[in-house]
Amino acid sequence: MSEGLIVHHLSVGPLQVNCFLVACQKTRETMVIDPGEEGPRILALAEREDLNITQIVNTHGHFDHIGANQNVIEATGAKLALHEADLPLLQNARNHAEVYGLTVTPSPEPDKLLKEGDTLAVGELSFKVFHLPGHSPGGICLLSKDHLFVGDALFAGSIGRTD
């Protein structure tokens, strides 16, 4: 663990998306990365660990990564960020989910559209945004010291998916 960085992992939703609650140890300010589903479970973890969710980042706009955006935003007032090239995916997530016989709660529009080189602050921590197209046009990864959050660009024991 990087100094001052708290990381909690949950596998959420029917596709078992990797959701992370990443927090500054000193301020308890927290970013949720890829809240794919199970908003109440994400919120319960934040409450149990005394974490203050202030922002959500979707590593890409596929339906399985955005399903709890609305729930977490309503409960916390968090701001949503997504790479600008994935805005159409976010906006059409319901139709994409239906192709797989699934449903998804529509996401609010992002408060911030990300691009290569942006930096996100979480308390005293900073995360650099890297544009990583391949799985989706606007896929990103987030780097904070020795932690890299990659969305679906890499899978454990696999190479990820380039759609």
* pLDDT tens digits for range 100-115: 999 999 999 999 999 9
Residue 119, pLDDT > 70, answer yes
pLDDT tens digits for range 47-90: 999 999 999 999 999 999 999 999 999 999 999 999 999 999 99
Crossing angle of helices 39-48/69-76, nearest 10°?
40
Residue 160, pLDDT > 80, answer no
What pLDDT is recorded for position 1?
Answer: 46
Going from the C-alpha of 79 to that of each of 32, 122, 125, 156, the distances in angstroms are 10, 12, 17, 29
What pLDDT is recorded for position 5?
Answer: 95
Q: Please give the share of the chain, as a percent, with pLDDT higher than 70.
A: 93
Reading phi first (left if > 0) and then psi (alpha if -120 to 50, else beta), residue 89 is in alpha
pLDDT: which is higher, 155 or 128: 128
Q: Is the pTM of this model over 0.75?
A: yes
Residue 162, pLDDT > 70, answer no
Angle at 21 between CA 19 and CA 25, to 5 degrees: 160
